[in-house]
Amino acid sequence: MLLRTIVRDCLYLNWALPAAALPPPPAPLRYEVHAWRGGDWVFASALLFYQEGMHVGGIPGLRLSYPQLNLRLYVLDASSVPSVLFLRMLMPAWVVPGVRLVSHQPAARARLDFPRPSRDQGNGRWRWSVQGSHPLEVEAWPDSPAVGEGPRLGPWERAIDYFRNRQRGYAEGRHGLRRVQTRKAIESPAVWPMRAEVLADGLLPELLPLAGDAGWPPLHSCWLCPEIPFELELGFVPKVALPSGVPHPAPTTRSAACL
């Protein structure tokens, strides 16, 4: 199934999490691990955006537009292709049943109040709010490129490519692992460097609890993409059971295209 949409005002919030505190990913995926300060770290991102004009290819008359938050981890798939693992997708209650039916993705309801920075030509200070059983409140504003807590990924442009340039996404559901193959319609969408302050973060450990006493660290990086046209192709991945003791191939840090 082919879906088309435009992602608007997409705020990327990125963290580095200790690998030892994460649950194992579903096979055949494995975490893309980075060494830093004597430990292994895995990147996670929360993307807060408007999904605009989502429709099935060939049926242009039925279009859905709504805000969404998705939480993802960065993984390598069975072919060692850099990919993302979708943990949760939060959206308005009215759209959840349709998303679950059509895409079999981990959609859940929440109240989302997102600004539209592109309408202000990138000049301002904005607040994003997600209200579930616990809140996520973020304030962000344009600023010079900066990297906070976590492994370094090279120059700013290379760090952006690491997070954004991935064609494959995976989500675990009742019927196994679901794969999303994406294509972007423009080669290099605009990116605005941002500085962000997380004002309330109770939602994060609810969506992804960390083992032991590990808490969510400060942000690694943040930026905003005002517009990204996408095509998404949905499909299933056969379940793979890996015998205990079978080593995983060493992770890499190369990029694919864009997700």
Distance (Å, rounded) from C-alpha 92 to C-alpha 10? Answer: 17
CA distances from 219 to 9, 146, 198, 201 (A): 19, 10, 8, 11
- Tell me what the mean pLDDT of segment 54-76 comes to: 81
* Residue 230, pLDDT score: 74
- Tell me what the mean pLDDT of segment 110-119 comes to: 95
* Residue 101, pLDDT score: 77
Residues 76-100 as b/e (b if ≥16 CB within 10 A, e otherwise) read bbeeeebbbbbbbbbbeeebbeebe
Asked if pLDDT for residue 250 goes beyond 70, the answer is no
Distance (Å, rounded) from C-alpha 77 to C-alpha 169? Answer: 9
Backbone angles phi, psi at 118, to 5 degrees: -65, -25
Residue ranges of domains in the chain, CATH in brackets:
2-237 (2.40.400)
Secondary structure class of 7 (helix, strand, coil): strand
> pLDDT by residue (tens digit) across 227-247?
988 776 765 554 444 333 333
> pLDDT by residue (tens digit) across 185-198?
556 789 999 999 99
* Residue 253, pLDDT score: 34
Query: What band does 249 get if pLDDT is binned at 50, 70 and 90?
Result: very low
pTM: 0.86
Query: What band does 254 get if pLDDT is binned at 50, 70 and 90?
Result: very low
